[in-house]
Amino acid sequence: MPSLTSVLGALDPTSDRAVFRQIADRLREAIDKGRFKEGDKLPSETELVEHFGVSRMTVRNALALLQQEGLAVSEHGKGVFVRPRPPARRLASDRFARRHRDQGKSAFTVEAEAAGSRPEVDSLEVKEERPSQDIAARLGSPRKVLARRRRYLLDGRPVEFATSYLPLDLTRDTPIAQLNPGPGGIYARLEEIGHHLDHFDEEIRARMPSPAEVRTLHLASGVPVIHLIRTAFDAEGRAVEVCDTVMAADAYVLSYQLPAT
């Protein structure tokens, strides 16, 4: 193991930047350069106190800052570790292409396989309910909807929680109302019952998670989420589904191909 001097360097006594922030800067830089890799244990409080010649509280503040940024996690009785990041799922522009449904694969499955990750879905719930005002407005004001809730995992790590809302008149007594709607997912079933999908509208924003989202996605402190609302329209222009999705922001890469002219 290299010495802390070679890994972290020294503080700048002439800087007006707070000492605990300087220490966090040195640790962050070492993580960014791969000197500490995912899952590695960071130097202990005692080691950092001795190396930088500062108080234990100063070191604790530096480590707490890295945890707030989502770069590190503390394990009680063991120390502070570089936070492992879930494998990235690429949100590509063709993720809802019909050819994937024709192969019996959902968008999540296709993209997970392309990334070399193992996809899973759990926390499944399917129920009839009254929609919120926003969901009702997007779907043309149905009195009741079928809500499908599920959590997505990559290699066993939660990365996304989604709820699909569909007009009840489209889904009653169809496979869409089952926990497992079959190959290709609910979009394949919608097309089978005559609702040929034409286009999707997506609204995306980034925000900090709610306490429930932190628990559901096992988020570290400081990790934001991507909140995406997607509306699916059929060839007749009818909104047939609204999907409200929350994703761990560090588990996704947005990738689109744009024309040059």
Nearest Cα neighbor of 71 from 87, 60, 82 is 82
The reported pLDDT for the residue numbered 50 is: 94
Give CA 77 to chain center in angstroms. Answer: 28
Question: What is the pTM for the complete model shown?
Answer: 0.73
Query: In the prediction, which pLDDT does 125 show?
Result: 95
pLDDT for 106-118, tens place per residue? 777 777 777 778 8
Question: pLDDT (tens digit, 9 = 90+) per residue, 204-214?
Answer: 998 999 989 99
Residue 90's pLDDT band, with cuts at 50, 70 and 90, is low
Tokens representing 242 are 């609204």
Please, are residues 139 and 165 in contact by the beta-carbon 8 Å criterion?
yes
Question: CB within 8 A of 259, min separation 6: which ones?
Answer: none
CA distance 94 to 214: 29
* Most confident among 90-104, 140-154, 220-234 (mean pLDDT): 140-154
What average pLDDT does this structure show over 232-237?
Answer: 95
The identity of residue 183, as a single letter, is P
Compute CA 134 distance to the chain's CA centroid, rounded to the nearest angstrom: 23
pLDDT digits (tens, 9 = 90+) for 21-33: 999 999 999 998 8
